[in-house]
Amino acid sequence: MTAMTAHKTSALSVDGLVKTFDVSAPWLNRVVERKPRQYLQAVNDISFEVPLGGCLSLVGESGCGKSTVARLVTGLYRANSGEMRFAPGEDGKPLSAQMIFQDPYASLNPRWRVKNIIAEPIRELKLRNTAAEIDERVAELLKTVGLSASDGDKFPHEFSGGQRQRISIARALASEPRFLVCDEPTSALDVSVQAQVLNLMRRLQDEFGLTYLFISHDMSVVRHMSDRIAVMYLGRIVEEGETEELFAKPRHPYTQMLLQTIPNIEKPHRDRVVAAGEVPSPLKPPSGCTFHPRCPMATAQCARELPAVRTLASGTRVACHLVQDA
C-alpha cells in the first residue's frame, strides 16, 4: 500500500487495515479429522481517507469486506493490524462514528415506542436535561427526517420500510454525530423509496455538515451519494478515486466490469458484459492479482504477482499491472 499522509481535511484516515477471522472447525473435528486451523482474511491491507463533510463510498460484490470495514470503523470489531485516525471534532475529542444498518427493523427495538427509541441516546449521553426538553428534541428529530411528532407514539411495526429507515436515521442523529457509517441503508427498500431516503441523507449531510462512509453494492446508488468511491475486491481496494473520474474513466478491469452491469435506462437491451464468473472463496484466494481468474486482460504475470497500488496523475489509486498513467 502507498504511504499515507494525514490529510488536514480528512475526517478519517485508514492505513493498512487488516481483519482476519478464525473460521477453524471445532477443536474435536480438527483433531479427529486432522484439519488445520483456518483463517479468513476479510479485510486485507486497505487504506483510504474519508473527506471531512464529504462522502466516501465502498462498493463491491457480496463478501468483499464492506461490512467488516464498517464494523472496524465503528469499533464493533478490532483490527489485527493497521491504523485508523479520526480528526478532532469541535470539542477537540476525536470524531466517533455512528452506524446506520441495512435492516431498519432489526435495529429498532420492536417493543419500544418510536419516541423512546429516539430518546435513548439523548438520555444516555445527557444531551438534554428535563423530560420536556427530551420530548421537544425527539419531535424536532422526527420532523427533520420527514415524519411527524405524533409518529413518536407508534411502534416500529406500524411503519413502512422507508419510514423505519427514517426512524433509524433520527435515532442516529439523536446522539449529534458528525460522522455516519451507512451500511447498505437503502438496499432493502423499493427503488422509489430508496431515492427518497437517499435524498434525505444528502439533505441532512448539507444541513448538519455530516461526513459519510457509505456502503453499497449498487454503482448507481454510490454515484448519487459520493465524492469519492473505493472499489473493493476480496478484501482489498482495487481502485479509489473521485466519483466523476471513476465513472468517466474506470481504470481497473473490475471497476469496468461493475460499471457494465448498471442497467442502462435509455438502452435496456444493449449488449453488456454481465459480471463474469463467481467471486472466489476468500478462504482460498487466487494467487497474484486475486481478480485474475475473472479478468479478461489477465497475463501470466497477473497469476504470479500481486499488483501494487499506484497513484495516477488524476489522483486515482489503482492496483493493476496493466494500467498506464495516461
The residues binding ligand SF4 (CB under 6 A) are 252-253, 289, 291-292, 295, 297-298, 302, 307, 320-322
Shortest Å, Cβ 63 to Mg ion: 8
Give the residue, chosen from 64, 174, 188, 201, that forms a contact with ligand ATP under the rule CB under 6 A. 64
H helices of 74-129, in order, are: 114-124
Stretch of 45-53, 60-68, 115-123, 262-270 lying at the interface with ligand ATP (CB under 6 A)? 60-68
Shortest Å, Cβ 64 to Mg ion: 9
Query: Residues near 83 by Cβ (< 8 Å), separated by ≥ 6?
Result: 13, 14, 15, 16, 17
Q: Is 62 in the site for ligand ATP (CB under 6 A)?
A: yes
Cβ proximity to ligand SF4, 12 vs 46, nearer residue: 46
Percentages (nearest 5) of helix, strand, coil residues in the chain: 35, 20, 45
Q: Could you say which of ligand SF4, Mg ion, ligand ATP, none residue 42 binds, taking C-beta under 5 to 8 angstroms by partner kind?
A: ligand ATP
Stretch of 49-57, 58-66, 85-93, 316-324 lying at the interface with ligand ATP (CB under 6 A)? 58-66
Q: Cell 481478480, residue?
A: 291
Among 81, 174, 86, 160, residue whose Cα is nearest residue 126: 174
Cβ proximity to ligand ATP, 72 vs 174, nearer residue: 72
Q: How far apart are the first and last CA of the chain?
A: 21
H helices of 9-160, in order, are: 27-32, 66-73, 114-124, 131-144
d(CA 98, CA 175): 8
Q: Is 78 in the site for ligand ATP (CB under 6 A)?
A: no
Q: Is 217 in the site for ligand ATP (CB under 6 A)?
A: yes
Q: Please say whether the beta carbons of 65 and 232 come within 8 A.
A: yes
Stretch of 64-72, 92-100, 133-141, 287-295 lying at the interface with ligand ATP (CB under 6 A)? 64-72
Residues in contact with ligand ATP by the rule CB under 6 A: 21, 23, 40, 42, 62-68, 217, 282
